[in-house]
Amino acid sequence: EKWDTKYLAPELLLTNYNYKLLATEHGLGIFTLPIFSKLFCQELLVKLKKFTDWETDRHKTYPTNDILIEKFDTNFSKIYDSTLRNILVPALTTLYDCPIGNFIHETFIIRYRPENQAHLDIHHDSSSFTVCVTFSPENEYEGGGTYFPQHKLTLKTAQGTATIHPGKFTHKHGVKPIISGERYSMVSFCKLIFT
């Protein structure tokens, strides 16, 4: 409970997780929702800026300058898995009016900066649904934003905000170039398991 009060977005607690009140739909099936507090993001950014083991070739088609969350911090990986299953999945169930069953996820943190990984080309995610959380405040970088061409939409979200959208087929997207500074975000490719 103390962790929730300190590190979750205060809007979640103040509304008792009223996802319909807190979420904004920017285009068909594209939602944003506050998830982490600014303090949580700031403390995480201190660790991310000191981290040196970034990878560049995990995804062959669309390589990103990233690190799997469990390789970055196993404790944070467990916390986020719990957040995803206990907060974000109920939000999805409410917002899409569709129960989410069993799923697995690949979650990684991405670092965007002009000298390596300034942008990401237009692509489909290999997921049933995708969650992207912004950790950097907007004053730490210039440019950027997730672009959804079919929806004629560019989203540049606030610190601690999650963007949720379907993965394959319908929601092609890319990341516009970072001109200066650094932007850190986290992406979860969530795949439903049908048994």
Tokens of 82: 């719990």
Name residue 55's amino acid: E
In this predicted model, what pLDDT tens digit does every residue of 93-110 receive, in sequence order? 999 999 998 999 999 999
Would you say residue 1 has pLDDT above 80?
no
In this predicted model, what pLDDT tens digit does every residue of 160-188 receive, in sequence order? 999 999 988 789 999 999 999 999 999 99
How many helices (H) and strands (E) would you count in the chain? 7, 13
User: For residues 184 and 143, is the Cβ–Cβ distance under 8 A?
Assistant: no
Q: What is the mean pLDDT of residues 82-102?
A: 94
Which residues, including other chains, have CB under 8 Å from residue 134's CB and lie 6 or more apart?
A: 157, 158, 159, 160, 161, 163, 183, 185
pTM: 0.93
Q: What is the mean pLDDT of residues 27-35?
A: 96
Computed over every residue of the chain, the mean pLDDT equals 94
Would you say residue 52 has pLDDT above 90?
yes
Would you say residue 14 has pLDDT above 80?
yes
Tell me the pLDDT band of 58, cut-offs 50, 70 and 90. confident
